[in-house]
Structure 1
Amino acid sequence: MPPRMAEPYEVPASLWHRPDMLAALKTRDIGAVFRLVRQYGGLSQTAIGSLTGYSQGKVSAIMSGSQQVTALEVFERIADGLHMPDQARMALGLAPRDLAAAAIPRQDARPAFTSALAPLTVDLVRHGEDETEVRRRDFVGLAGAALFSAVVAQPLSRDEEAAGADDLAAALTEYPVAGPQLPELSQLASAVARAKRTYQACRYSEVAAMLPALIRSLRLACATLDGDARLKAHALSAEAHHVAASILLKQEDKGLAWLAADRSVHAAQASESPLMMGSSARIITHALMDGGHHRAATGMASSAAQRLNAALAQPSPNDLSVYGTLLLRGAVAAAQHSNRHTAAELLDEAEDAGRRLGYDGNHMWTAFGPKNVLCHRVNIALSLGDAGTAIENARRIDINALPINERKATVLLDTSRAFLAWGKHDRALYILRAAGDIAPEEITTRPATHRLVRDILATAPISIRREAREYAESLGVTA
C-alpha cells in the first residue's frame, strides 16, 4: 500500500470565537492572530507558514512584531490559508466567502499577490501564464472591505431615495430665502471643495445629501453679495451645480440633470470668468450626450475649447486642464455618433494639451493629463466598436497613477464592457468587481452598471454562470 498522506493542518473552529482572537482580528494584529493559533490551535510556526505561504522565519518575524502585515491582499491570503470562517473574515474587514470567494477555488500554496489596483487589474492575463491561475490570484485582492461594504451595507429605502431627490429638486427650483446668517464666502468655498472631493471619491450618496443646503446658501449669496464677492459666489455656484448635474446624470434623472447643468452654465456666465464658463460647458456637453444629442455635444465642446484657447495667451495648468477636458468631451461625443475623423482629431489635440501640462493632476477638478487622455481612448475605441483596441489601450494604463477614484472606476468599467464585447465574460466580471472595490457606489447605485451586470449574466458561459448569478444577486440585480 502507498504511504498514507499526512493529515492537513487545521485550526480549531472554536478558536475564532475567542474574545482575544476577535480583538486581534478587529485591530488587524496578525502577529497576535498567529500567536493565538500557535497557543490554542497547536500549530507550529512551520505549519502556519505552510498554510499561509510564508517561510518559518517570516512567521516568526510577524509573531514577534518585528514585521507588520498591512496589505489587503496579504490579509486575504492569511484568511484563506487559515480557513477563517465568515465571522472571522468580517472581523478582519474582509468579505465573507459566500459573497466574495465562494466561486473561487482555494490554492494550497499561493504565490505573492499583486495589488488590486495595479495595471494587472486591467491586464488580467500576462504572457506565458496560465489564465485560470492568474485570474484566481488577482481576484483575491478585489474582495476587500470596500466591496464588502458595498454589498452588505443597508441600502436606502425607496422613500429615502425619493425624499433626497425631492430635496435636491426643491433646492434647484426655489427662490433664495434669507436665513439668520449668511455663511462666509470662505466657508462656502470649503464646502464646494468638499463636495467636489467627495464626488471624485465616488461617495455619491454622501455628496447628494450635502448639496441641497449648499445650493441654497450659494443662491442666497449670489443674490445678496456684490462686487468681487458676488462674482466669486457665482463661480462657486457654477461648481456646485456642476456636481449636482454629474450626480443626477449618474442616477439617470435626466430632467433634473438638465436643470442643474443649465444652472451651472448661467452661474458661470455671471461669474465673468472664461475659465469657469469653459468648465461649466463640460457638464452641458455631458447632458447633451446623455440625451442622445451627440452632434450638438461635439459642436458645443469644440466651440467652447476654441473660445477658451483663443482667450489664453499663456495658459496655466488650470487653463490647459479645462481646455483638454473639453476636447475629450467633444471626442467622446463624436465617437458616439460614429464620427471617427473628428474623434481622432479632438483626441490628438487633447493629447497635445496633456503633453503641455506634463502630468496627470486635478486642476479645476478635471483629473486631466496624459493618462486621462489614454482612458478616453479606451472609451472611444469601445464606442466605435473596436473592443480589441480598447483593451490594448487599457493595458497601457497604470490605474494607481490616475488621480481620482471616479476616473479609475470609469476606465475599469469601460474595460469590463470591452471584454464583454470581446466575449471574455470571466475577465469582464473580474474587472467589474475590481471597479467595485475601488468605488462601491459606482456598482451599487448606477443603473448603467446594473445593466452591465445583467448583460454579463445573460450571456455568461456555463463556466462562470453561477459566479455571475451570485454576484448579481448580491447587488439585488435580476436578469
Structure 2
Amino acid sequence: MSGRASDPIAIPESLWQRPQMTQALTSRDIRTVFHLVRQYTGASQTQIAIACGMTQGKVSETMKKGGRQILTLEVFERIADGLQMPDTARMTLGLAPRHFPPPTTTNAAVITPRDEPAGLVPASFLGSLDVEPDVEEGDPVRRRTFTKLAGASLFSAILADLPDDGAPLEGVEAFAAALAGYPALSSDPSPAALSMPRLTKAVATAKRTYQDCQYSTVIKSLPQLLADLRTACATYEGDTRLQAEALSAEAHHVAASILLKLDEEGLAWVAADRSMQAARNSQDLTIIGSSARIITHALMNDGHHGAATQTASTYAERISHDTDQRTPAFLSVYGALLLRGAVAAGHRTDRHTAATLLDEAQDAGRELGGDFNHRWTAFGPTNVQLHRVNIALQLGDAGAAIQEARRIDLDRIPLTERKATLLIDTSRALTQWGKHAKAYDVLRFAHQLAPEEISARPAVHRILRDLMATAPPSTKRQLRDFTTEIGVHL
C-alpha cells in the first residue's frame, strides 16, 4: 500500500528470496529491483528515492525501459542500505554483508599455506589486506575490503560447486530459452516424443491444465513441448506437418497466455508471434483466428487498444468471409475474436464499438446453441455475459457490471479460469462501488476456486493493493491476514 513520502518502506524478507529478485540482484538490474519493491510493497517512487538517497526523477528514469542504468559501487551501496537488504541479498548484488561472523578466539586453528582448504583465501592474501584492526564490522571501509576479498576468493569457490553442464532452466527462463531455440531443450528427441498422438495429447493437456488455473504445472512441461513441436514441424511433411503446425500454434498460444498473466509482456509477444506464424503455416482458418486472439491480447496488454480492436475485427471478418461452413469450431473462434475486440474497445472507452461487437458475439453464441469449449475458446452465451461484466467495468460502470454479474449462473461456466475471471472482475466492481467487505469475500472465494489465479498474478496483486488502500480498518485486517496466509505481500 502506498504511504506518505516520508513513511519507511516495509519490505518482506521473502521478497529477497524470490527467483526474480535473485536474478535481478545477480545481474545488478536495479530497474527490476525497484519494480519488484513497488509491486510487493506498494511503495511510491518518492519513497524509494528518499530511502536510497536519490531524486524521484532518477528513480523514475531508472525504472523506465531502456532508462538510466546504475553502474557505480557507491550507488549500489546506497540502494542496498536504503532498502535494508539482508546480507544474502547484498552478497548476491556483489556487496559485502553488514555483519561479519565474529572471529574465533578460543582454540582457533592456524591455517598455513600448506594446509589451507581449496577455494578459500590464501593466508598470504589475507595478510596483504590493509585492514585496520579497529575498523567496525559495518564500516564502509571494511565492506569495500570484503568486496575485494569476495572477488578473489568466493568466485572460485562458487564456481567449484556448480555442475559442469550448468543448472537446468526453470520457470520463465525456460520459456525464454524455448522461444529462443535453446539447443538443450531440443537435442535429439526420440521418435516417440515426436509422434503425433503424443504431441496432440500433450497440447490438449497443456490447454486443459491452463484452463484449470494450474499454471505452475503447465510452466514445468510447456517449454520442452514447444521445443518438440518445433522439431516436429521441421521434420514432418505434407498433412502431418500441417497438423504439427496447428499444434504448435495452440501450444504457443498457451505460452503467451501464461506469460501475459505473469506480466512478462516481452516474452508473451514472442510467443504470440510464434503462434501466429505456426497458424499461418497450418493453413487452417480457425487456427489463424484463434492465434489472432492472443495477438489481440498482447496488443491490449501493451496499451495498443485501438490496434487490438482493429486486429480482432479484421480477423473476424476475414475468417467469416473465407469460411464456407459455419461449424461449431468456426462460430466459437469467430465469437471469441469479437469478444476480444469488444474488450479492447472498452479499454479505449469506445462504447459504440464495444456494444456492436458484443451484440455480434451474442448472435454467434445463439447460433452455436450453448456453452462449449471448441478450439479451447470457452465460447458461448454465458461467456458473452462474462465479457459484458468486464467491459462495463472498463467503462467505469461498476453498478452495471454488478447487475450483469447477478444475471450469471456460475454453475453454467464450464472452466475454472473463466469463473475466476468473473469473480475477480466482480470484486473490482464491488471495490469501485465502495462495497469493500463483499469485494474481499469474493476474492477469498476466487482463491478457494483457483489459488494460483490469485497468488501468482501481479495484476491480481494490484487489485488486492487497491482494495487495501480504500477498505475500512476491519476489512484491512482481514485482507492483511488473508494475503499473509496465501503468501502475497502487499
TM range (shorter): 0.5 to 0.7
What SS does the aligned partner of 1:452 have? helix
State the Cα deviation string for residues 391-444 of structure 1 (Å, max 9, x = none): 000000111110100000001100000000000000100001111111110011
Select the residue among 327, 331, 339 that pairs with 2:338. Answer: 327
Query: Is 1:166 matched with 2:166?
Result: no
**Structure 1 segments unaligned to the other structure (5+ residues):** 1-159
Select the residue among 325, 329, 341 that pairs with 1:318. Answer: 329
- Which residue of structure 2 aligns with residue 336 of structure 1? 347
- Which residue of structure 2 aligns with residue 250 of structure 1? 261
Correspondence list, 1:285-434, <5 A: 285-434=296-445
Query: Is 1:214 matched with 2:221?
Result: no
Paired residue type of 1:200: Q
Paired residue type of 1:164: G
Q: Distance in 1 between matches of 2:379 and 2:413?
A: 9
- Which residue of structure 1 aligns with residue 189 of structure 2? 179
Q: Distance in 1 between matches of 2:300 and 2:441?
A: 28
Deviation at 1:240, TM superposition (A): 0.3
Deviation at 1:269, TM superposition (A): 0.3
Q: Distance in 2 between matches of 1:191 and 1:462?
A: 48
What SS does the aligned partner of 2:379 have? coil
Correspondence list, 1:82-231, <5 A: 163-174=170-181, 177-181=187-191, 182-231=193-242
The answer as to whether partners of 2:329 and 2:374 remain within 8 angstroms in 1 is yes
Query: Which has the greater radius of gyration?
Result: 2
Paired residue type of 2:284: S
- Which residue of structure 2 aligns with residue 443 of structure 1? 454
The answer as to whether partners of 1:168 and 1:212 remain within 8 angstroms in 2 is yes
Deviation at 1:161, TM superposition (A): 12
Deviation at 1:452, TM superposition (A): 1.1
Deviation at 1:356, TM superposition (A): 0.5
In the alignment of these two chains, the number of paired residues is 320
Q: Distance in 1 between matches of 2:168 and 2:478?
A: 29
Deviation at 1:177, TM superposition (A): 4.2
Q: Distance in 1 between matches of 2:194 and 2:251?
A: 15
The answer as to whether partners of 1:309 and 1:323 remain within 8 angstroms in 2 is yes
Q: Distance in 1 between matches of 2:278 and 2:371?
A: 28
What SS does the aligned partner of 2:170 have? helix
State the Cα deviation string for residues 135-194 of structure 1 (Å, max 9, x = none): xxxxxxxxxxxxxxxxxxxxxxxxx99832111111111165433435211110000000
Select the residue among 224, 235, 239 that pairs with 2:250. Answer: 239
The answer as to whether partners of 1:454 and 1:478 remain within 8 angstroms in 2 is no
* TM-score, normalised relative to structure 1: 0.65
Deviation at 1:314, TM superposition (A): 2.5
Q: Distance in 1 between matches of 2:199 and 2:489?
A: 42
The answer as to whether partners of 2:310 and 2:341 remain within 8 angstroms in 1 is yes
Paired residue type of 1:438: L
The structure with higher relative contact order (CA 8 Å, sep 6+) is 1
Q: Distance in 1 between matches of 2:169 and 2:444?
A: 28
Query: Is 1:275 matched with 2:283?
Result: no
Paired residue type of 1:260: A
Deviation at 1:475, TM superposition (A): 2.9
* TM-score, normalised relative to structure 2: 0.64
Deviation at 1:250, TM superposition (A): 0.2
State the Cα deviation string for residues 20-49 of structure 1 (Å, max 9, x = none): xxxxxxxxxxxxxxxxxxxxxxxxxxxxxx
Paired residue type of 1:473: T
Residues 445 and 161 of structure 1, relative CA distance in 2, 3 Å threshold = farther
What SS does the aligned partner of 2:372 have? coil
Q: Distance in 2 between matches of 1:442 and 1:376?
A: 18
Q: Distance in 2 between matches of 1:161 and 1:406?
A: 30
Select the residue among 433, 450, 473 that pairs with 1:462. Answer: 473
Paired residue type of 1:309: S
Q: Distance in 2 between matches of 1:389 and 1:443?
A: 24
The answer as to whether partners of 2:336 and 2:379 remain within 8 angstroms in 1 is yes
Deviation at 1:460, TM superposition (A): 1.0
